[in-house]
Amino acid sequence: MNKESLSGKRILVMGLGRFGGGVDVVTFAHEAGAKVIVTDLAPAEQLSDSVGRLAGLGGIEFHLGSHHPADFEQADIIVANPAVPDDNKFLQIARRAGKYVTSQMNIFFELCPARIIGITGANGKSTTSALTAHLLENMADKHTWLSGNIGNQPLLTTIDQINPADLVVLELSSFQLEQLAQIQKAPKVALLTNLTPNHLDRHGTFSNYCAAKENIFKFQELNRDCPSVSVFNAEDEIAAGWFEKYRKDAGRVCIRFSADNVSEEIGRCFSLPGRANLSNLAAAMAIARQFGVDDEQIKNCLPEFKALPHRLEFVEQINGVSWYNDSKATTPQGTMTALDAFDQPIIIIAGGYDKHIPFDELGEEIARKAKAAILIGTTAPKIAEAIQKTSATEVTKDGPRNTKVEMVSSLAKAVELAHDLAKPGDVVLLSPACASYDMFENYEQRGREFAKLVQTLRPERINCQT
């Protein structure tokens, strides 16, 4: 596929998304001279932001609120949102009609002239992607692009600006990797942060989820003259097994990383808390070194790197209590990682949409490390049950741990209760371990709402200081 080949084609974009996920595809196809139809199950009022961003493009047809079989039978190309599973009945209609089904990421891989660095995993992939791009920006002779699931930059509408000498860092989700497997494409440099159960509502089993992630290595091009690079977490059991599996391939260079690889000297230049963030840094360093970035350059640029929004992001300190927004933690493992980042007493706010992931291990960790858990959303009862199984019997150096567990109906009430419970020196941590869709549009909205609620507590802090 090339951009010119799209001119005059009838392209159906399936899934515009409320936050502009399909805007990039629509704009790209329109600029290429295609006849573009947008279909989405959501009604127009829910998609007003995305539709508004396309207002300047003439001739776009919007079929919103439902999908129509005729659209899928009559289009030349269907570009499916990653959230649409491959067995979707409308995609099956299109394939039976002999239509070409693709995705935004698939088109990008077919058109991108530069080397692609792909980063995936259950946790830490956004921070690792941003860190990798940050370290690579020290290479004066190359321009580095950061995009993909992280959402920093559009993909297709910037394709004409990307040069062969550039580097492209992409955060890749399991959904996107499933789509890429259909065209047997993978990044030239591929990295896995870790693997823990996630998206089981889509993949069904952890094994299926892992298989989707493994596509990032499975379809790398093997070339002895220009080897692909595969990077694995030495501390992750599945990743360690994949290292042994793939290291035997000719035309591939396999690398392992660990948080222990980060020297004290470099670690002192890095402000993000916790061992998991050291692991993210070690991963980014492993890639950067492949492109000639040395330790002195790493030390010099690290102080400029700040936590990404909603990822263990410091919000405020009020009356000696530190508040952190970790709304991006949408898995139990992500939340357990956040709990590990602090030595202070923790009040955790958790819960949300149910992705059918077990909470047993999370309950044990909350019982072990949190003085209180304030739970919201659909999963609140499940998390409460998991905590209460262990909290009464968990023994710490100070005696039995009896984590206080409360369920409340809203994030606002959770913040209010956390404020009442917190004492100077405590940490209040929003780290939900769940997706946000039962109460919020996405994790960003949840994180912004949390930060706004915390900021309303500031007048009390000022009054106490006067």
Bridge partners, 348 (sequence order): 373, 429
Name the residue with tokens 């067995």.
87
Bridge partners, 258 (sequence order): none
Provide CB contacts within 8 A for 243, sequence distance 6+.
Answer: 230, 232, 234, 254, 256
Name the residue with tokens 């149910």.
354
Other C-beta atoms lying within 10 Å of the C-beta of residue 222: 12
Provide CB contacts within 8 A for 108, sequence distance 6+.
Answer: 155, 156, 159
Check residue 20 and give its pLDDT: 65
**Single-letter code of the amino acid located at 421:** L
**Helix (H), strand (E) counts: the chain:** 19, 19
**Single-letter code of the amino acid located at 128:** T
Write phi, then psi, for 410 (nearest 5 degrees): -155, 160
Tens of pLDDT, residues 168-184: 999 999 999 999 999 99
Are 432 and 446 spatial neighbours (Cβ–Cβ below 8 Å)? yes
Tens of pLDDT, residues 299-354: 999 999 988 889 899 999 999 999 999 999 999 989 999 999 999 999 999 999 99
76: closest CA among 1, 27, 12, 24?
12
Provide CB contacts within 8 A for 181, sequence distance 6+.
Answer: 212, 215, 218, 219
The mean of the pLDDT values for the chain is 92
SS3 state at 321 = strand
Provide CB contacts within 8 A for 103, sequence distance 6+.
Answer: 79, 80, 81, 82, 176, 179, 180
Check residue 297 and give its pLDDT: 94
Are 22 and 107 spatial neighbours (Cβ–Cβ below 8 Å)? no
SS3 state at 457 = coil
Residue 284 CA to its chain's centroid (Å): 16
Check residue 213 and give its pLDDT: 98
Domains of the chain: 7-102 (3.40.50.720), 108-304 (3.40.1190.10), 313-465 (3.90.190.20)
Other C-beta atoms lying within 10 Å of the C-beta of residue 402: 13
Check residue 3 and give its pLDDT: 86
Q: Which residues of the chain have pLDDT under 50?
A: 395, 399-400, 460-466
pTM of the model: 0.83
Write down the H helix ranges in 97-164: 104-111, 125-136
Distance CA 446, CA 43 (A): 22
Cα dihedral 176, 182, 184, 186, rounded to 10, equals 0
Check residue 465 and give its pLDDT: 39
Name the residue with tokens 């990404």.
308
Check residue 463 and give its pLDDT: 41
